[in-house]
Each structure stands twice: as structure tokens, then as C-alpha cells.
Structure 1
């Protein structure tokens, strides 16, 4: 979703196959008796086509391979790749598992990939340098918190405001699954309170055990979050007020699903004073249906979809690029396909009494229809931010922060 992601390797395979087919057509036009080009690396065929076109295509292929490697998917070459298909059908087949990934994989790299003669190492070096120059990481105190009986550790970071405040801390759950907290770091500039982040298992600064060694699922993530909250209380990062932990819980995209499921778990944590759900669907199957419809309205143009429904900020916010820096996202448990059947349990909605702020966006691919289930919450407030999409925090930060801070303060008195 940050969460709702097409797998980069699948997306790049799809794009690469289209390029290979076009080269095969050119070869056949030059020499009809020669067999079509195979799916070998494009560098092996560069001499068979015009030099300018070869350089352009080789640059794209090299860049695409590097992006795939940098994001933890590894080099993957398809000797018998799937038949190219319209983008909408491709997304339906993959549960729309690369929504923002289609964008974060290609768009932020577009200027890099456009240059002639770019090598894999050049791309990796340029991307890392660009991220380092543009991202201002907030000052964070870090801890590695034990979960799963001490078998794994999750990174947690706390930012304290410059001026002393009585505001209770906000615990932040990032989206994905598998996209670390960096894109939510701008919250620290907008809120008058401590803000605590943590990277879920398998991504960012946290441990990355193999799926054969540790479970990756919503249920396992819920248990991890309970352990994180217990550890933060023990470390006094979450204070005790009136005999119970005083904190607020926030989840963006998949992080909201995780937060809500955790608070409804039988062995859940001490309840927070409030819950904020930002850009969170109540039904992933409905979300997927609406995404296909939105794509169709845009002529199945993935770039237009991204610019309209994922992030409307141009240029791409540095914090978002940082979350997708090489090696930073996870690869074991990621994409909407791993949560494709999730719907909020209706029985849990009527009995949920914690105050809830729902932050939505006018152009978000998480549509009002896909969030309809949240309307059954007894104690909720809905804010729809105009003119923004899935990353509303990064698109209209001041308005976003003002609504969030006002809600948090209301539920501290």
C-alpha cells in the first residue's frame, strides 16, 4: 500500500519483455531468415541494431537491472518470459501488487536512466548520492527492541521536539508491507510532541530473517507490535499517566491495518488514547477493484496513475525517495498480494471505542468506497484533504500536520 505495491522485478520483467520484442521485430525486418532475439541481456544484441537505439535500450536495461538489484530482488532474467499484456490485465493478475512501486521504481530514476552510457555501478552511486544530499534525517535516539522471544530485533527511533512539551508520544506504523519509516519522518516537523518510529521485521534497519526461519504475516506483525509497545513502556519512551501508558497510535496505509488489528487482538497492548488511520482501506478486495477502474480511466497509463493517485508532488519528495533507497525496503513479505484478502472484521467495528481520526485524500487510490467499512466506527472523525493523493503528508504537510496535532491534543485533556 505503501503498501500496495507491484513487485519491482515483475514490473521490470514486463517492461523488459516489451523492449525485447521490439528489438526482435527490428532484427526480423533486417534479416527475415534470422530467428528472433532471445531474452538474453540487451548488451549482447546491441551490435545488431542502430547504435543510437542500442545505447538508449542498453541504458534502460542496465538501469532497470540495477533498480531491481538495489531493491533487494536480485538480477532476474526470463529466458521464457510471459507474453506481454495490457497494463490493466497485468495488474489484475498480480493483485495490483506494484501500485506505487511501479512509480517509485521508475519515475524517481527517470532522469538517471535518460543519460547515455550509464552503467549499473554509476546508477547505484548516483542514486545513493542523490538521496544523501536531499534527505535531512531527523535527529533520532535509536534502540533495537527484541521480539519473538529475543530471536529478532526491530529498530525503533524517537524524536523529541526542540521545546519541552507535555504532549504524549505518537507511535507511528509505516506502510508497505515492507517500506520502512523514512517517508513518515516529516511528521517530526509538524507535531508538538515526541514521535516514535519503528521498522517492521524484514525492512529498513530491523532484522531480516528468512521466511523459512520466521513467520511473515499480519498476525505475526501484530504480535511484534505488542512486543514493541511493551518494550517502549519498559524503556520509558511511553510514559505512564494515571496508571496506564499514555500514547497515541498512528498508521499510514498498511500501517493502519496493522494498528487496528493489534488493538483488536485478544492479547493486545494497553489501549492508546487515540488512533489515527491515514489513507487506510477497510477492504483490500474493493480497493483492487477500484484501482483497476482508475487505471482504465487513465488509459492504463501507469505514469499518469502515479502522478494522479499516488503522489502529486513534483519533484518526488526526498523522504519518499529515502524509503526506497537501494537495499532499504524489504523483499521477504511485501506487496498487496500478501494482504489481498484482508477486510476489517465487522464485529470489531461496533465494539471499538478508542477515538479515531481518519485522514483521507481527494485523489487517493484508496477510494472512499474502499474505506466504507470504517464508517461503522462509533467514535470517529473524518478529514478529507483536497488536491492530494496517497502521500498526503508529503503533498500538503502543513494542513496534514495541523489536523493531526489538533486531534491528538483534543484527546489528551
Structure 2
């Protein structure tokens, strides 16, 4: 496998990227990680798609191995959209597939709505395309948990103690239901350095809690514009996902050229919970589009 990594100059600093290439003839795939404020570390398994096409992952500015500028004005959706265009230009990705996961789908949709040329398809994996709708879904998900967990999360939000140990413990229970349902996480995933996550970006853009959006994404909702994205799209989620099957299917119905798939044994991290199935579904979709 050919492997390349490096830094790309973007607005506000440099971002770190990696490119996997086994000389497959397919259109390159660029992967947008979740967060905001996470990194591409957990998405490393997607490099296996490089047998058919180049696969590019990058840590968004402020995240993972990229620069950590202190200018909080950089943490806006519009700048991340600009960053994606800059990464694409630096790597000469004239024609490209995009796979976004979670917040990465927010970024993918916002970017697509700027009408860039050369987008062959978009995969919305566990999508967040409406902050208000995401918030509503998490409040519904919360009601499926034990009362004491619900009360802890509610009290910590009201009292501003979302950095407390009791809140962390409650979130851990929420995560086991709706984020990653594996009893044992892969060993490599446990080795992710904690500094790869930037909670400051998350707080500025989303807020201190998953369940109430207080950041600058509070009013983000691109559902009225989904009809304007005309390239082929694939919407996926886990059966137990934070990005609920009902909402994900709703987004797909609003999109004129889309398919919909549910990973039956997964929550929010199907690429880790059902890696072989995930790679199969993604790979088949991309190959089908390339053959059209």
C-alpha cells in the first residue's frame, strides 16, 4: 500500500492528513470525521477501502495531529467548509466522493450546498443535518434510560456541572446504548491519545452537553436545502443510533437521488461495531457510482 501523510496550509493553521492508495482505479474518497473537535483516529479502518480507490483522512484544524490555534473565531461551520475546499485543492481532488460521519455530515452538506464542482457522491453516515432535530432525538433517547440516569443528566445541565464525575458516568451509560454498544472496544481504539479530542471546539460549536445545543450550530438546519444536492447520496445509521433511523430515513426522503441503509447491530459507530458490514456497504455503493 502506498501511504502518504503531511500538512496542508488552511485558514488559521495547518491540518494533518493521510492518504492510503493501493493503485485502485476508483474515484478518491475523502473522509470527514465527527465532533466537532474529534479526529480521524477512530476512522482508520476505512483505509481498507483503498484497495479500490485512494482514501484520504484528515484531522480538522484544532483536532488530532493538526495545529491548535487559540483564535476561537476559527470555530465556525463556514471556516470548516473553507478548510475542506482548501484540503481538496491541495491534494488535487478534482473529482471526489465524500464520506462524512456525524458532525462530518453537517460539514459535508454545508460544503455541498456551496455548489462545488466534481462531487461524485456523498455518504451521510449517522447524519446530523438539523441541530434542533438532533436535540429532540437525544431527549427522546434519554427517556429510554433508567430514571436516575435521566435525572443526573438533567440536574447537571441545569446546575452547570457537566464536567462532574457523575455526569461523565451518566454519559457513559448513554453511550453504551446509543454510541458504541460493543462490550469490549477494540484495543487499538483504547490507545487513542486523549489530547486528540478538543472539547473547546465542541463547547463553542455545540455546547457542554449532547442534549441541549447552546453553541453556534444551535440553529443549523439544512433539511429545506437537501433537495438541492443532486449527486448520488447514501444515508446510513445504526439501529440504535443517536442519529435515529427515523430521522435518517426522513433526510433520505428529502434527497432526490439517495439510498438508505440501517446497520442492525450498531449504534453511532457502525464502522467499529460492524466493520466488515460497514466497509461492504460503503464499498459497494462507491463502486456502483463509479460504474455509472
**TM-score for the superposition, normalised by structure 2:** 0.82
Residue 156 of structure 2 corresponds to which residue in structure 1?
none
Detail structure 1 runs of 4+ shifted over 6 Å in the superposition. none
Root-mean-square deviation (CA, aligned residues, Å) is: 2.0
Query: Aligned pair 1:247/2:96, yes or no?
Result: yes
Q: Aligned pair in 2 of structure 1 residues 191, 157: CA closer, same or farther (>3 Å)?
A: closer
Q: Aligned pair in 2 of structure 1 residues 381, 373: CA closer, same or farther (>3 Å)?
A: closer
Distance 2:61 2:258 in 1: 30
CA drift at 1:287:
1.7
How many matched pairs? 257
Distance 1:259 1:387 in 2: 25
CA drift at 1:345:
4.5
Residue 239 of structure 2 corresponds to which residue in structure 1?
362
Distance 1:144 1:188 in 2: 19
Residue 200 of structure 2 corresponds to which residue in structure 1?
332
Assess if the C-alpha contact under 8 Å between 1:358 and 1:382 holds in 2: yes
Query: Aligned pair 1:381/2:236, yes or no?
Result: no
Query: Aligned pair 1:351/2:198, yes or no?
Result: no
Q: 1:198 aligns with which of 58, 71, 74?
A: 58
Q: Aligned pair in 2 of structure 1 residues 390, 175: CA closer, same or farther (>3 Å)?
A: same
Distance 2:191 2:2 in 1: 15
Distance 1:269 1:304 in 2: 41
Q: Deviations over 1:97-148 (max 9, x none)?
A: xxxxxxxxxxxxxxxxxxxxxxxxxxxxxxxxxxxxxxxxx98411211112
Q: Deviations over 1:193-234 (max 9, x none)?
A: 22101111111111111125x52111111111111111110x
Q: Aligned pair in 2 of structure 1 residues 411, 143: CA closer, same or farther (>3 Å)?
A: same
Unmatched 5+ stretches in structure 1: 1-137, 239-244
Residue 85 of structure 1 corresponds to which residue in structure 2?
none
Q: Deviations over 1:293-344 (max 9, x none)?
A: 2222211533432212110112123454344x22111233115323233211
Q: Aligned pair in 2 of structure 1 residues 362, 271: CA closer, same or farther (>3 Å)?
A: same
Residue 316 of structure 1 corresponds to which residue in structure 2?
185
Q: Aligned pair in 2 of structure 1 residues 308, 191: CA closer, same or farther (>3 Å)?
A: farther
Q: Deviations over 1:268-311 (max 9, x none)?
A: 53332111110012322122222122222211533432212110
Q: 1:407 aligns with which of 277, 285, 291?
A: 285
Query: Aligned pair 1:160/2:18, yes or no?
Result: no
Q: Aligned pair in 2 of structure 1 residues 211, 319: CA closer, same or farther (>3 Å)?
A: farther
Residue 171 of structure 1 corresponds to which residue in structure 2?
30
Residue 131 of structure 2 corresponds to which residue in structure 1?
284
Assess if the C-alpha contact under 8 Å between 2:227 and 2:254 holds in 1: yes
CA drift at 1:396:
0.5
Assess if the C-alpha contact under 8 Å between 1:284 and 1:370 holds in 2: no
Distance 2:77 2:189 in 1: 24
Distance 1:139 1:176 in 2: 28
Assess if the C-alpha contact under 8 Å between 1:356 and 1:381 holds in 2: yes
Assess if the C-alpha contact under 8 Å between 2:242 and 2:268 holds in 1: yes
Residue 145 of structure 2 corresponds to which residue in structure 1?
298
Higher share of residues assigned strand: 2
Structure number with greater Rg is 1
Assess if the C-alpha contact under 8 Å between 1:352 and 1:377 holds in 2: yes
Distance 1:319 1:334 in 2: 24
Assess if the C-alpha contact under 8 Å between 1:282 and 1:374 holds in 2: no
Residue 153 of structure 2 corresponds to which residue in structure 1?
none
Assess if the C-alpha contact under 8 Å between 2:15 and 2:61 holds in 1: yes
